[in-house]
Amino acid sequence: MSADRDPAAAPGLRERKKARTRQALSDAAVALFLERGFDAVSVAEVAAAAEVSKPTLFRYFPAKEDLVLHRFADHQDESARVVAAGRRAGTAPLDALSAHLLDGLARRDPVTGLCDHPSVLAYLRLLYGTPALVGRLHAYRVRSEEALAEALAAGAEGDPLLARLAAGQIVTVLRVLAEENTARIAAGETAGAVAADAVAAAGVAFRALREGLPY
């Protein structure tokens, strides 16, 4: 789940309609991919299922992989937004990110890996079982890291190189924590059974970050 946005920046009617269309296209695509497999479904079939033309579909999603990764799109700059909001509230970046992660774990936010809803597990099997999607996910994470580095460098610390190094470590920590949770749930454990360990692991990880990073 994303950090709060500035109400003054709320999207207009046109933007909301585009967002609904984009979501409908993604949902139609994911349903087909889950049923038949990512490689077995063509873009033309997705467009037909969503009742739009191929050119229209490509206006919303430049690549077939983006139809699946749409669920991660709003998370690309999530850490950056958390840092910016925390800074405005006088909260250190790592403290803001740690609190945000713990909140996500409590809510069983799928992005934390601590979610055992059948639809989420099916989506993750599709994602991590398709090499093209794994590769595209890496590109999303790179952009997330870049956005976080910019947010960190915008603070009093100000060193772009140090901000990039810190962003790389933070994004990696969040990824590893989520993958650990996902792996245990995929192996048959429930989110409830994993939760306490997930919270403890988050504490260990952010303590290590605090001891090694000046943020």
So what's the pLDDT on residue 74? Answer: 72
For the full predicted model, state whether its pTM sits above 0.75.
yes
Cα–Cα distance, 18 to 121 (Å, whole number): 28
Amino acid at 191: A
| Averages of pLDDT over each 10 residues, the chain, 215 residues | 44 85 93 96 94 93 94 86 95 96 96 95 94 91 94 79 93 96 96 98 95 75
What is d(CA 150, CA 42) in angstroms, rounded to the nearest whole number?
A: 37
Q: How much is the pLDDT for 19?
A: 87
Task: Name residues whose C-beta falls within 8 Å of residue 107's C-beta, 6 or more positions apart in sequence.
Answer: 1
Name which of 39, 60, 63, 37 is nearest 50 in CA terms.
60
pLDDT at 8: 43
Q: For residue 2, what pLDDT is reported?
A: 38
> What is residue 73's predicted lDDT score, i.e. its pLDDT?
78
The Cα angle at residue 130 between residues 118 and 182, in degrees rounded to 5? 40
